Each structure stands twice: as C-alpha cells, then as structure tokens.
Structure 1
Amino acid sequence: MKLTYQTIIQNYFHRFQAEVSMAAYSVSYPGRQHHLPPEFYRIWLFHEGAGTLQVGGRSVEIKPGQLMLLPPGAFQAFEAKADTRIGLYWCHFQASIGDMDMFDLLQLPISVYPDDREHIVQLFEKLIAACRSPLLTRELRIRAAMFELLACFLECGGIQESTLRAIEPLEKMERVLAYIEAHLAETMSIDDLARLAYLHPNYFIGYFKSIVGYAPAQYVNRRRLELARSLLENNELSITDIAQRVGMQNHYFSRIFKQYIGITPSRYRQIYNEAPKREEGTEGTE
C-alpha cells in the first residue's frame, strides 16, 4: 500500500474514539429470533452453535469462530437453528473518526475468521471483566481490549488500496501527500498544496486537518523528522547533511528533533548504534 494511504489511515486510527456501552456472553436458544435496533456498532464472536444473520438485505450463515463487525443504520436479526443453540460474545460501542465514517468508507466485510480464535476469546473475557470492574483504570482496560479486537478484525478483513483510491477526499489528499514526500527538502507554501487539491487556501488548511489529522505545517514537520530519524540510523550522512535533506537549518533541526523525539539527533544515532552491541554483549554472557 502507498505510504500516503498508510499515513492517512494510521492518522485516522490515531484519532479513533470508541465508547463501549456493554460487553457480555449470551446464549440464544433454538428457534429464537432477535431483532436488533441499529443504533450503534456491534462486534460479535460466535463461540458455539449455528444459525442465520440478516443484515439489511443480506443473509449470512453463522458458524463458530466467526468474528463480525456490524455497523449501525441497517436492520439486523439473527436466529439459532432448530437443533442447536448459539453462544455469543458481544460488545456494543459508539465510534467516530473525524468527520467521516471510516468503517463505511473502507467497505469492510461483515465477518472474518481469525486464525487464533482463543486469543479473541481472551480479549472478550478481558473486555467483559473490565466493563464489570470497579477500578479507576477500568476505562483504560476497556479501550485496550476493544482496540485489540478491532485491530484483529481489520487485520483479518484487510484494507484494499483499490477501495481507498475510490474515496474522493483520500484521492485528493494522496496527491498532496505524495507531493510533500517528494519535496521535503524544499519550502512548500499553502498555496502550492491547496492547488494540488483544487481548493482555496483558506479552506484547504481545515480540510487537510480533517482528513490527515494535522495542520499542513505540522504534518510536513512530522514527515521531515520521521525521515531524519531513519537517516540517522544510517551512518553514511552527517547530521548537517541530514538537516539539509529535510529542508532545515542545522541548529533548528537539532532543536525541533529534540522537541519531537526527546533527545538530540547525535544522541539518537548513538543510542541506535549501541543497541545491537548491548544485545550481543548480553547474549554472550548467558
């Protein structure tokens, strides 16, 4: 996948918010049908039994090990087969990512089959326990388990680059981000970037931030510093050369790098180069 698309999606996930309302394990008995109000997202793991799920106009066969992500906005109902019962881990949550519903835009599948089913069960058990916990840290544990579940679903379901190319806001930003990547050593104006997206400069700044997650100047600096960090891991270039590669004066580069990473460029290179030696030395003493 193109770096520009990766950047957009990762920044969306960085801003992703999920509010879990409830999580539990339930059993549905043979022949019993459930009609579900589509007011929030649901993530389900069918643990035992079989049946049929109706989502909008689609019918999906339910099987053990199936992990499902069901969006709001479509009629949903499921029914256990006459000779079996369904054991279901489930969670209800509200989700938002900026101004667009990324789950809809990515055209994700309704269901996937994770390779490590036991891991998914463990995550649901952690989520259920966290929801019932009286501890002050319960919200952190809820989010940790919830985010891990969603990550597993997305990794199994896959995000196709062809889908991203069909999304107009992402396609506009792809041109802009590709230009930024190619000109990190140069001065870039808002007018130049806005022209690539066919937008007025005054509108472009807010539009860019709503898609990418950062104002244009912030994003350019972050990409310059990320490039600088990768160049520091190679000893072929001096720090002065690296500063030039990312379009910064040497003194400004050192100051902004320390502000972003927490240490100076020279100290970063020293730590990076010493890490393998430390590991080799530790291994040799065992």
Structure 2
Amino acid sequence: MKLTYKTIIQNYFQRFHAEVSMAAYSRTNPGRHSHLTPEFYRFWFIQEGGGRLQVGGRWLDMEPGQLLLIPPGTLQAFSAEPMMTVGLYWCHFRAAIGDIEMFDLLNLPICVIPEEREIERVVVLFRQLIEAYRSPLLTRELRIRAAMFELLACYLECVGIGESSLREAEPIEKIDRVLAYIEDHLSETIAVEELARLAFLHPNYFIGYFKNFVGYAPAQYVNFRRLERAKVLLEQKTISISEVARQVGMQNHYLSRLFRQYTGLTPSRYRQIYYQAAPGTDTGAAEERD
C-alpha cells in the first residue's frame, strides 16, 4: 500500500474511539421482525441458526460464522427462519472523528467470514467485551476498548483494505496529492499555501481539513516525516549527519534539537545504538549519554 494511503489509515486508527453503548448475547424468536434506522453501528457475530437481514434496499442471508458490521443511518429489518432461533453476539457503538466516517470512505462490506482459526478468537473477544461492559471496575472502559479494538481489527483484517477502495474516495484523493508532494519535497521549504493549492482549498480552511484527516497540522506533519526520513538516513553509515540534515531540509543544530525531542537521542547516538544493538548487548539505549 502507498505510504500516503497507509498514513491516512494509520493516523485515523490512532485517533479512533468507539463508544460502546451495549453488548450482549441474544437468541431471537422464529419469525421475529424489527424495523428501525439506528444512529449507531451494530456489530454482530452469528453463532447459531439463520435468518435474513435487510440494510437499506439490500437483503442478506445470515448464517453461523458471519461477522457483520452494520452502518448507521439506514433502514434495517431482521427476521429469523421459521422454526429456528438465531443466537448472536452483538454490540452497539458510535465511531467518528470530526467530519470523517472512515468506514464509509473505505466502502466496507457489511458481512465478512473469518477463517476457522479466527472464529474462536472472535467469540472470546465478544465474551470479554460483554464481561467488561457488565463490570463495575474502574478499568471497565479500558477493557471495553481493548476488546472492541481487537474485534474491529479482526473484521478489518478479514476485509483486506486495498488501495482501490481508497482511490474511489474524493477526500482521500485530495490528501493523497498533498502527502505525495510532502514526501517528494522534504529537503525543501514547504509552504502551506502550496499544499492548500494542491487540495483546491483556501489555506485557512485547508489546515483544519488536513488535521482532520491526518491527525497533525501541516507543519507538524512535515516535521514528523522529516524526522522519520532522518531515521532511515541515519541507518546508512555512508551518509554524514550534515548530509542527513540537508536531505530533510534542516540545519544541523535544528535537526539535532528536534530529533532529540522526538526520540530522546541525538542523531549520532541514534546511529551508534542502531549499529550496536544486538541481543545481550548493553548499548545504553534507555538513556542519552552524549
């Protein structure tokens, strides 16, 4: 996956928060129907039985082993097969960052089928989520988030997020152009006005738009990418630290100061530790000693 796409997704997940409002295991009665347009996501794992699910104008056959992520804002109806109950683990949650609904942008499928070896893990995670939801402990929210994030990771790994779905989203295309430009010009002065022009936005609006997607203001992100590039260059012995600074568009002293703030090490110490580090070797990595 392209670095620009990977950056968008990883930064979104870094800031992602799922607010779980209910979690349980239920068995439905045969022929039972429900019609509603919820304002929250519904996350289901079908454990037993069968039925049909309507989401908008689409009907899906439900079978054991399916993991379903049902989006909000659409008419939904459910019915169990005659003479059959449906047993399912489920939770309701809300998830959004600013104006972004990444699940919508990625055009994620409603239903995935985990591999056989993953099904037991999904069941264990739903049980942990339900137990955490019912817990009176102060750590309840941490345990809810841990189980919820693991479940979402299982779902997304089943989906297999690809570049094709990202390219179809216009907002991501805009940010992609901007991030690609930044990667190609890290050794140069990068003006916010130029980045805004690439996104066809006014500079004042662009700053908030960019931060909403990437998690950083444009200037912060540029420095972040410069420091990450500096780390890669420092891992090559043949490149001097002065040349590293030049290739990331910084003066030596400024690179040293920002790099130390970012990693806790000076550039020279980072290089030394990188090449000395090995199992059983005491490099003093936990503390800067320059």
Instruction: Give TM-score, length-normalised by structure 2.
Output: 0.90
Q: Deviations over 1:200-257 (max 9, x none)?
A: 2222222222222211100000011111122223333232222222111111111111
More deviation, 144-153/257-266 = 257-266
Match of 1:20 in 2: 20
Q: Structure 2: which 5+ runs fail to align?
A: 282-290
Asked whether the equivalents of residues 194 and 200 of structure 1 are also in contact (C-alpha less than 8 Å), the reply is yes
Q: Which residue pairs with 2:107 in the alignment? A: 107
The alpha-carbon deviation at position 174 of structure 1 amounts to 1.1
Matched, 1:272 2:268: no
User: Which has the larger displacement, 126-135 or 266-275?
Assistant: 266-275
Aligned-pair CA distance for 1:277: 4.3
Q: Distance in 2 between matches of 1:275 and 1:42?
A: 47
The RMSD of aligned alpha carbons is: 1.7
The question of 1:246 aligning with 2:248 is answered: yes
User: More deviation in 234-243 or 61-70?
Assistant: 234-243
Partners of 1:83 and 1:238 in 2: CA distance: 75
Residue of structure 2 in register with 1:51 after alignment? 51
Contact kept? 1:12, 1:98, Cα under 8 Å: no
Rounded to whole Å, the distance in 1 between the matches of 2:273 and 2:28 is: 56
The percentage of aligned residue pairs carrying the same residue is: 67
What secondary structure does 2:8 align onto? helix
For the residue of structure 1 that corresponds to 2:93, the secondary structure is strand
SS in 2 for 1:278: coil
SS class of match (2:18) = strand
The answer to whether the Cα contact below 8 Å between 2:97 and 2:212 also exists between their aligned partners in 1 is no
1:177-216 CA distances to partner (integer Å, 9 max, x unpaired)?
1111001111111222222222222222222222222111
1:200 and 1:142, CA in 2 relative to 1: closer, same or farther beyond 3 A? same
Task: Tell me the SS of whatever aligns to 1:77.
Answer: strand
1-structure distance, mates of 2:120, 2:148: 16
How far has the Cα of 1:36 moved from its partner?
Answer: 4.1
Where does the alignment leave 5 or more consecutive residues of structure 1 unmatched? 280-286
Pairs within 5 Å for 1:1-286: 1-115=1-115, 116-278=118-280
* Alignment check: 8 A CA contact 2:44 2:69 kept: yes
Q: What is the Cα deviation at residue 47 of structure 1?
A: 0.9
Partners in 2 of 1:118 and 1:271 — Cα distance?
42
Distance 2:135 2:267 in 1: 44
* Match in the other structure for 1:284: none
Q: Is the CA contact (8 Å cut-off) linking 1:243 and 1:249 kept in structure 2? A: yes
Q: SS state of the match for residue 20, structure 2? A: strand
Give, in whole Å, the separation in 1 of the partners of 2:28 and 2:4: 45
- TM-score between both structures, scaled by the size of structure 1: 0.92
